[in-house]
Chain A
Amino acid sequence: MKISVYRRPLAALALLAAAFFNPAAWDNDRLLAGIPLNLVYHSGLCVAAALAMWAVVRKAWPDYLDRGE
């Protein structure tokens, strides 16, 4: 197992955390399809987290976990 296998997900986590604290829309009261922009943004982050984990399990799954099963 290469150490880098565990570093790639950390990069994804750092990006998601940066997006979480992005203040660009904090004071924006626009509605998108009736939903407050900030709620749409943070709902989008949940979807982004799911996509990130999809990439993690495909590209950064540690080999040792599947050995010996």
Chain B
Amino acid sequence: MILTVVAVYLSLVTFVGLAGRRLFKGTGEDYFVASRSIGPAVLLLTLVGTNMTAFTMLGLSGEAYNRGVVVFAFVGSSSALLVPFIFYYLGTRCWWLGKRHGYVTQVQLIRDRYRSGALGTLLFVVIVLLMLPYILIGVKGGGDALNAITGGADGGMPPWVGSLAVCVVTFLYVTYGGMRSTSWVNTFQTAVFMTVSAAAFFAILHEFGGVETAMQSLRERHRELVVFDTDPSSRLRLLSYFLIPLCTGAFPHLYAHWLSAKESRTFRTVLVFYPLCFLVVNFPIVILGMVGRLAFEPPLDGPILVKLIVGYTGGLLAGCLAAGVFAAIMSSLDSQSLALGAMFTEDIVRYYGFDDRLSERQQVMFGRIFVAVFLALAFVCSLFADQSIFALGTWSLTGFAGLLPVFAASLYWRRSAKAGAAAAIGAVAGLWAYFFVDSLGVDGPYSIAGSGLLPIAVIVPASAVAMIVVSLLSRPPADTARFFPEN
């Protein structure tokens, strides 16, 4: 039953993705940003879907099982608060500049804004290095999830089967239809994800006598799960997690989705409904993770959500859960691989190899080749990566958050200079490497000197200070008027 539901789901995804091909115009702009034609509902759901990963369904419920209700603040409400403001300040401005100057990637914006090819190349390298482990986590997460849902070590599907399925289906619709197919599929997958999490929520809580009965039992047996820790290190950890959504301002795949918006008003719907969508996505998952504590005592031998569904519902819902996990993974993986394909095509091949002259057909061809290469590479690496790869997820987000001051300054500060941007990127790379090496000898969750403060709380301010101080000490580029709206 589980495999049948998964097969039906993957067929539907492929069908929706290939349907997007019918409107394909054959140009690079259409392949990478759907000719800037995406409407509000599709943009909203595709942005929500792109920000969901395997962690949203399996990792979040696992964290709620261990830490309790505070996890909703770590991941849910912090994103619901910050991300719409990032879309408002950065998303709309990037869309405006992209439409005005024909940008498709962030590197094009930075090269043009600071008149520096080398700065763009430096940013390109940093973004690709941060993105690769993030992609690998998705591919490996798909394999591990299918393995766990179908029985785990007791005869479950080998992890490479799920990883291969995720890569092949994503490859089909991304290479075939580009951004339009990606957006349509993401919309479908986000709807599937929300439906599955709601169905799991009601079906499982029914087995526990309803949410009120379950939560009263939880409060009596595990009070620590329904309150926040009030010790200083927990406060610093909450502060650190509040900063993590800043990474959305520097993600190349979100940048590409911003540029795909049909008009500025498209963003209005996204801004208003994004926090509500995040509430709908995260609320049931956190509750289910906490309720899992009533049924299973630690240590667990698999994801808590999988154990709840397998233990308390039937094979149909378990199959839907697998589909939901695949939805969360592929809705990020497609956008990430397409964005990297766009960056390699536009920022390296077109910029260096063809002196900025590359036909529309060649752009699409290179984009498809790079998407195929990334997915193949991610699949091969997933065969050899162990569980420690998942720890790189937070590090990847930390690095992207550190790049936010570079983009914010380029968009809003006329006085910002190339040297300032380079210094900020250097500060991010240096501090990131320092903290990463420092974390290698630490067992369990890492924080700076065990204080609860995560590296992101140092890297983001350091990046901002480097950007401001070095810009003020150096000469800004001339003629920046075309990057700013007239008064």
Task: Please give the residue numbers on chain A whose beta carbons come within 8 Å of chain B beta carbons, in ascending order.
Answer: 1, 6, 9, 13, 16-17, 20-21, 23, 26-29, 31, 33-36, 38-39, 42-43, 45-47, 49-50, 53-54, 56-57, 61-62, 64-66, 69
Q: How far is the CA of A21 from the CA of B238 in the complex (A)?
A: 8
Residue among A26, A38, A49 facing the most chain B CB atoms (10 A cut-off): A49
CB-CB under 8 A for A29 and B228, given A45-B81, A64-B96: no
B228 and A27 within 8 A (CB) = yes
CB contacts (< 8 Å) of A16 on chain B: these are 81
Number of A-B residue pairs at CB separation under 8 A: 129
CB contacts (< 8 Å) of A35 on chain B: these are 211, 215, 287
Give the distance to chain A from B302, nearest Cβ to Cβ, in Å.
25
CB contacts (< 8 Å) of B215 on chain A: these are 31, 34-36
Give the distance to chain B from A32, nearest Cβ to Cβ, in Å.
10
- Return the contact of A31 from the options B84, B219, B238 (Cβ within 8 A): B219
Residue among B72, B223, B235 facing the most chain A CB atoms (10 A cut-off): B72
B77 and A20 within 8 A (CB) = yes
A49 and B73 within 8 A (CB) = no
Total chain B interface residues with beta-carbon distance under 8 A: 54
CB-CB under 8 A for A47 and B96, given A23-B230, A42-B77, A53-B84: no
CB contacts (< 8 Å) of B387 on chain A: these are none
CB contacts (< 8 Å) of A36 on chain B: these are 69, 215, 219, 226-227
Q: How far is the CA of A16 from the CA of B227 in the complex (A)?
A: 20
CB contacts (< 8 Å) of A9 on chain B: these are 85, 88-89
A17 and B92 within 8 A (CB) = no
Give the distance to chain A from B429, nearest Cβ to Cβ, in Å.
28
Selected interface stretch from B181-189, B276-284, B323-331: B276-284
A34 and B275 within 8 A (CB) = no
Is the C-beta of B479 less than 8 angstroms from some C-beta in chain A? no
B211 and A42 within 8 A (CB) = no
**Additional A-B contact list (4), CB under 8 Å, known A38-B226, A38-B228:** A29-B226, A38-B227, A42-B72, A66-B264
CB-CB under 8 A for A26 and B227, given A31-B219, A57-B272, A66-B265: yes
CB contacts (< 8 Å) of A39 on chain B: these are 69, 72, 226, 283, 286-287
A43 and B226 within 8 A (CB) = no
Q: Which residue of B lies closest to A2 (CB)?
A: B487
CB-CB under 8 A for A65 and B242, given A34-B210, A50-B272, A57-B272: no
A49 and B212 within 8 A (CB) = no
26 contacts between A and B (CB under 8 A): A20-B78, A21-B238, A26-B228, A27-B228, A31-B212, A31-B216, A33-B212, A34-B216, A36-B226, A38-B69, A38-B226, A38-B227, A42-B73, A45-B77, A46-B76, A46-B81, A49-B80, A50-B273, A53-B272, A53-B275, A57-B268, A61-B268, A64-B485, A64-B486, A66-B264, A66-B265
A69 and B264 within 8 A (CB) = yes
Give the distance to chain B from A53, nearest Cβ to Cβ, in Å.
4
CB contacts (< 8 Å) of A34 on chain B: these are 210-216
CB contacts (< 8 Å) of B76 on chain A: these are 42, 46
- Return the contact of A1 from the options B78, B85, B219, B487 (Cβ within 8 A): B487
CB contacts (< 8 Å) of B85 on chain A: these are 9, 13
